Structure 1
Amino acid sequence: MLAALKKHIETQFPSLKNSKLLLACSGGVDSMVLLYFLHKLNIKTAVAHCNFSLRGEESDEDEAFVKEMSSNYNLVFYSERFNTKKYASEKGISTQMAARELRYNWFFHLLEEHGYDFVVTAHHADDTLETFLINLSRGTGIKGLLGIPEKTETVIRPLLPFSRKEIEGVAKAQSLYWREDSSNASKDYLRNKLRHTVIPGFKSAAPKILDSLKQTQQNLGEVSNLLDDYMTLVYNLVISEIEDGYKIDIEKTKSLPNSKALLFQLLSPFGFTDFDSILDLMDSQSGKSVYSNSHRLLKDREFLLLSENQEVDFKTVIIDKETSEITVPIHLTFSEADTYKITNAHTVFIDASTLEFPLELRKWKEGDTFQPFGMKGKKKLSKFFKDEKLSLIAKEKTFVLISNNDIVWVVGHRLDEKFKVTQKTKNILKIVYTPA
């Protein structure tokens, strides 16, 4: 296997021989075999071990073991202890996901701090099969079935072509030491259930399953590349960038074949999973929404508007006469002016004598009216927004500046006629809005 690994590294990772590597080492058989191989190939390596504090004394013994083995190989050793359960609770994620986030965040910190080129992990072919089945059981697209990548910008996995059986065979043949993680025997986790219950029977029925999976994933990879090329062509036909996110043209999307699959490719990166609801949204009335954990898809006439989830409710902000600046919820500056220029969307000049302090800043609401600068008569804000062709998202983010219950300024849009500067004005207040 050493010769096969050497050839694999020379073919797939030719720069590895001249790189500084950081080996993620749990102390299990996989990482200890990889540590042995890297040493035999004279590749510069340091060792990083995570103590997730999940198995009490056993976790501490793992850490001590990896430290001792690193010393035997004369390698630099790093270790870090994490309160994994606390982190998982605070983040609202599973223990396994918490451990993944913690370890990779720390690994990347070590890379940056100490100048290592890559993190090296001991994932192998059986891990790929387990990941494939996990993603398959949860429902996934093509990319979820492609397996674990051999190389990313910062992570290399040189053992992926090799099976767990081959790795264990090396460990026994070379009389290597390793630690058994007792949690791997537990069937509380889906991965362990697959490893101990499903996959042995699968391998018995299809002995060449790992080779077949590798070929299948290569085929899926080619299909994925073809799909990416198609999406590059289609993307500009149906989606465009706007100030608050993106807008998707509903009719153009419907006119293309397989619109549900197209929406999946466009929206799954933003966490959306309920594509039947999104198809229904395309035919619903304006104002209806579908949410993912991170984003919202809003129907607005002939478009679907995609934006990040945001808090839209703010308490009223009180602005005293002495206030020179506020930064929350929006950025406004207040100053006296000797002269004035023509009012625009982001800067207004106001006759200070028309104001009654304190002023208030709040979100607009249904029923609000004002007299737009340069016009006669009042207009409902909802009608003003329609005439200005504001999207629903833009309307949600609109604030109004209030003096004695009257709208002074629809911030970022229009001043009220009542508060404009005239030839009789003696004191001018300049207000500048700086969008985030």
Structure 2
Amino acid sequence: LTWYEDATNQADDVLRNRIRHQVLPDLQRENPALLAHVQSYADQLQQLLTIGHERVGQLLNQVLIDATTGRLSVFLTLTDTQQAALLTAWFKQRGLAVTNAYVKMAQQLLTNSVKPQGEVDLHSGIKLIKRYQTFSLLEATKLAENPQSDRRIVLIFNQWVQFTPQMALKLSHRRFESEQSATEMALALQPDDFPLTVRQARSHDQIRLTSGGHKTVRRILIDHKLTVEERQHQWVVTTASGEVLWLIGIQRSARPASLGERNYELQLRYS
């Protein structure tokens, strides 16, 4: 190739040319070894960056469960600088053009011990999701809340009733006294309690406590550390009047079977 001098190389209205023609000559007059020192500094900086990238890669392997999910407990053992470097590298791996401001917001969310769950909107419709012991990068469209179904399924006495592909319930008379397991609920029912139905849980539903008070389903699910997504797929058994008898698989209402009353039993079956 024949070397060619472009006329614009001499034009000082371009920043790179002003640095080459004006700034560097002045600096070299002060220090003739300037360019050698700059090259040495650049070499050292490149070495440090290489070591830094290798260390961040090691931290990513320790923290991440897979490409989109990380372990919060491990992340919290890192220094502030390591956390910021890890988030920056992770976001870049996922193709996100995020700024330091986004990295700072993400770091604040993950290190907030008061808030076990939360979200941060990042670039291009991606959200950073914190859920108790994990954090994930997910598309916002995948997080849209599913509208809760108003579908009610009536329990038929002495028959298994399938209400999800994985779960079925049966209502029957309680024939003998025994300690109920996690998949059973013994209770006393009156004629006006029927029919019993199964439906999806709602956050404002309440469970009766042994103390005589009530606790909302939302609070119960938070106490059990269920994620926002998991809370959308919980089911309850209710009476005809809407009283919640059982947050299925999690907590029963304080409405025990007793002597002298017609006692019943709810059985849960997983398939």
Q: Which amino acid aligns with 2:233?
A: K
The offset of 1:405, in angstroms, is: 1.7
Report what 1:339 is aligned to: 176
Normalized per residue, the structure richer in strand is: 2
Render the CA deviation track for 1:258-282: whole Å, top value 9, x for unaligned: 12245348x83xxx73655565244
The yes-or-no answer on 1:406 pairing with 2:230 is no
**Correspondence list, 1:191-210, <5 A:** none
Distance across 2 between alignment mates of 1:415 and 1:291: 40
Helix, strand or coil: the match of 2:257? coil
Cα 1:240–1:433 change in 2 (3 A) is farther
The yes-or-no answer on 1:394 pairing with 2:230 is yes
Helix, strand or coil: the match of 1:283? helix
Render the CA deviation track for 1:27-54: whole Å, top value 9, x for unaligned: xxxxxxxxxxxxxxxxxxxxxxxxxxxx
Cα 1:307–1:340 change in 2 (3 A) is farther
The offset of 1:392, in angstroms, is: 3.3
The yes-or-no answer on 1:363 pairing with 2:178 is no
Report what 1:434 is aligned to: 270
The offset of 1:334, in angstroms, is: 1.3
Render the CA deviation track for 1:132-163: whole Å, top value 9, x for unaligned: xxxxxxxxxxxxxxxxxxxxxxxxxxxxxxxx
Greater RCO structure (CA 8 Å; 6+ sep): 2
The offset of 1:331, in angstroms, is: 1.8
Cα 1:371–1:411 change in 2 (3 A) is same
The offset of 1:414, in angstroms, is: 0.3
- Checking the alignment, whether the CA contact within 8 Å between 1:247 and 1:306 is kept in structure 2 is no
The offset of 1:417, in angstroms, is: 0.6
Distance across 2 between alignment mates of 1:425 and 1:247: 51
The yes-or-no answer on 1:273 pairing with 2:117 is no
The offset of 1:254, in angstroms, is: 5.8
Q: Which amino acid aligns with 1:392?
A: V
Cα 1:363–1:433 change in 2 (3 A) is farther
The offset of 1:389, in angstroms, is: 3.6
Q: Which amino acid aligns with 1:280?
A: M
- Checking the alignment, whether the CA contact within 8 Å between 2:88 and 2:103 is kept in structure 1 is no
Cα 1:417–1:281 change in 2 (3 A) is same
Q: Which amino acid aligns with 1:368?
A: D
Distance across 1 between alignment mates of 2:138 and 2:245: 29
Cα 1:314–1:383 change in 2 (3 A) is closer
Q: Which amino acid aligns with 1:409?
A: W
Cα 1:283–1:333 change in 2 (3 A) is same
- Checking the alignment, whether the CA contact within 8 Å between 2:148 and 2:232 is kept in structure 1 is no
The offset of 1:433, in angstroms, is: 5.2
Helix, strand or coil: the match of 1:417? coil
Cα 1:234–1:290 change in 2 (3 A) is same
The offset of 1:361, in angstroms, is: 0.7
The offset of 1:307, in angstroms, is: 7.7
Report what 1:82 is aligned to: none
Distance across 2 between alignment mates of 1:290 and 1:339: 55
Cα 1:321–1:385 change in 2 (3 A) is closer
TM-score (ref. length: structure 2): 0.54
Normalized per residue, the structure richer in helix is: 1
Render the CA deviation track for 1:102-156: whole Å, top value 9, x for unaligned: xxxxxxxxxxxxxxxxxxxxxxxxxxxxxxxxxxxxxxxxxxxxxxxxxxxxxxx
- Checking the alignment, whether the CA contact within 8 Å between 1:411 and 1:433 is kept in structure 2 is no
**Correspondence list, 1:316-335, <5 A:** 316-322=150-156, 324-328=160-164, 331-335=167-171
The offset of 1:432, in angstroms, is: 0.7
Which one of the candidate residues 310, 313, 317 is aligned to 2:147?
313
- Checking the alignment, whether the CA contact within 8 Å between 2:186 and 2:266 is kept in structure 1 is yes
- Percent identity, aligned pairs only? 11
**Correspondence list, 1:102-121, <5 A:** none
Helix, strand or coil: the match of 2:220? helix
Which one of the candidate residues 63, 66, 72 is aligned to 1:248?
72
- Checking the alignment, whether the CA contact within 8 Å between 1:239 and 1:246 is kept in structure 2 is yes
- Checking the alignment, whether the CA contact within 8 Å between 2:169 and 2:268 is kept in structure 1 is yes
Cα 1:251–1:331 change in 2 (3 A) is same
- Checking the alignment, whether the CA contact within 8 Å between 2:91 and 2:97 is kept in structure 1 is no
Distance across 1 between alignment mates of 2:128 and 2:219: 24
The offset of 1:378, in angstroms, is: 1.1
The offset of 1:313, in angstroms, is: 2.5
The offset of 1:387, in angstroms, is: 3.4
The offset of 1:353, in angstroms, is: 3.7
Q: How many residue pairs are counted as aligned between the two chains?
A: 199
| Ranges in structure 1 where 5+ consecutive residues have no aligned partner | 1-222
TM-score (ref. length: structure 1): 0.36
